[in-house]
Amino acid sequence: MKTMLLLAIVAVAVVQWLVVALIAITTREKFPKKGLRGIDRTLVASSIVLAIAFLAQLDYSSLWKRSAPVANASVTVSRGSCATIDNGMTVADVKKRMGTPDRMTPDEETRGPGAVTLFYESSRCSVHVVGGRVEFVD
């Protein structure tokens, strides 16, 4: 609500400045030998009002506060490459080299008890594990 009010104030200040600037451009009043014309003084005042309105709508507190990092839940980036994984490695060794897998799918129905596939989306590979040891890597 506060933001909308401040933006409305800035919009009014912009319109007011444009009207005064248009009048200053089109007026036929002669330039005095010293000082400014009346409309020029009004234009300076209008510019100050516009600057104040613009500065008032800025959120200065966000400039000094540190925002919390935003977690990217869509893709987890692994640290390694599937080329570093050898057959016979344990799941713990794979996780040390590659990080936590993006998905783990049980394969017990097709490959037997204790079979699981670890998927690493960012590396575009999958690690097939049977009995806690790597059987092969895709």
CB 128 within 8 A of CB 117: yes
Q: Kindly tell me if the per-residue pLDDT of 76 is higher than 60.
A: no
Share of the chain above pLDDT 70, in %: 83
Give the chain's end-to-end CA distance (angstroms, integer).
54
- Amino acid 78: pLDDT: 47
pTM, to two decimals: 0.43
CA distance 16 to 117: 66
**Across the strands, what pairs with 137?**
127
Closest among 88, 87, 128, 138 to 108, alpha carbons compared? 128
pLDDT tens digits for range 94-137: 888 888 888 899 988 888 888 999 998 888 888 999 988 999 88
